[in-house]
Amino acid sequence: MNGVRASMSNKAIIPVILSGGGGTRLWPMSRPECPKQFLALTGDDTMFQMTLARTLDPRHFAAPIIVANAAHVETVDAQLRGISATLLLEPCARNTAPAIALAALAAHDPASPLLVMPSDHVILDTPAFHAAIMAALPLVEQGWLATFGIAPTGPETGYGYIQAGAEIGDGVHKVERFVEKPDAVRAAEMIAGGDFAWNGGIFLFRADLYLGALATFAPDILAATQVAMDGARREGNRIYPDEAAFAASPSDSIDYAVMEKSPRVAVVPVAMGWSDVGSWDALFEIGGGEGVHTLTIDTVNSLIRSDGIRIHTVGVSDMIIVASGNDILIVPRGKSQDVKKIVEALNDSRRA
């Protein structure tokens, strides 16, 4: 990114890493006490650590703000491995719009660009990601709210889509419209059209202008998070927003609350080897095949992972087998979305 920077403002980008998710789609490895972002699924580092590592270059990025569930503070602290960061610790989950509001209110310089990233996505091509950020930055300085549109690799029905309109900068388009998760026919039509991208939940905008957009489109969220931050308790780099005030905020996503409503939203289409690793099938697709604690014979096209239980297979094909703690999940490939049926049944039996 050398040389590009000279033409821009001097404000470093503040990475905002959203670590509030407690997803169960990678059960039994992801659990409420240790969700996906804190697992080393694709290498030695966790998804959270790999997200951090993408925005460490001090020539471009300021110290990050981590917005996390307060219950995970020790995990976050340990996984930071000494990296300076501000920890914004949510007392409860209120979805992304309030979480990002906390970060915007915590930014030292209100005009700083915030790069908002989920903590549990894979991006294989970091230079492409950086180039997209740099492409968006001049328009962000001018007041646009930017989103990154993931170049689709197939007619997925599990993502929202973004239609790119007129080009307003080099590789940057005005958003024509957002489309909710489509059915298969609609997804195929959009892919064929060529001007749609997936909504990957990665954003770049100035902190003050995000707050301004909230004031216009979601004033209750702004009011609640402002009170929560005014009453926050601070301990070193840890900020604990006031619980009652934050709990009073509407729970809404940034997409619904702001992006789909604002007239000044830009999209940067980018192919960067992205995956949200939203299922065991997705992990298999990006090559997270076989781990330790396994002995496999005549076993093909399968994802086999364990953190302790010794898994032994023979003659197995196209299966997903994942062990964690004292639990093991066994499901055919292509069916890993059904893990939610298991999690629901377990929750039902605990309530019963």
**Chain residues that interact with its own copies, rule: CB under 8 A:** 28, 295, 297-298, 308-316, 319, 321, 323, 326-332, 335, 338-339, 341-342, 345-346, 349
Of 74 and 298, which has the nearer Cβ to its own copies? 298
Q: How far is the CB of 47 from its own copies (least distance, A)?
A: 23
In 3D, which of 136, 150, 130, 149 has the Cα closest to residue 273? 150
Of 219 and 332, which has the nearer Cβ to its own copies? 332
Q: How far is the CB of 29 from its own copies (least distance, A)?
A: 13
Q: How far is the CB of 328 from its own copies (least distance, A)?
A: 6
Q: Are 120 and 276 in contact (CB under 8 A)?
A: yes
In 3D, which of 276, 274, 268, 275 has the Cα closest to residue 131? 268
Of 111 and 328, which has the nearer Cβ to its own copies? 328
Of 219 and 325, which has the nearer Cβ to its own copies? 325
Q: How far is the CB of 325 from its own copies (least distance, A)?
A: 9
Of 292 and 295, which has the nearer Cβ to its own copies? 295
Count the Cβ atoms, other than its own, within 10 Å of residue 22.
17
Element (H, E) at 342: helix 339-351
Distances (CA, A) of 68 to 2, 5, 64, 202: 32, 30, 12, 16
Of 62 and 323, which has the nearer Cβ to its own copies? 323
Q: How far is the CB of 340 from its own copies (least distance, A)?
A: 9
Q: Cis link prior to 28 (omega < 30° from 0)?
A: yes
How far is residue 80's CA from residue 46's CA, in Å, rounded to a whole number? 10
Distances (CA, A) of 5 to 1, 37, 266: 7, 30, 20
Q: How far is the CB of 315 from its own copies (least distance, A)?
A: 4
In 3D, which of 272, 275, 254 has the Cα closest to residue 204? 254
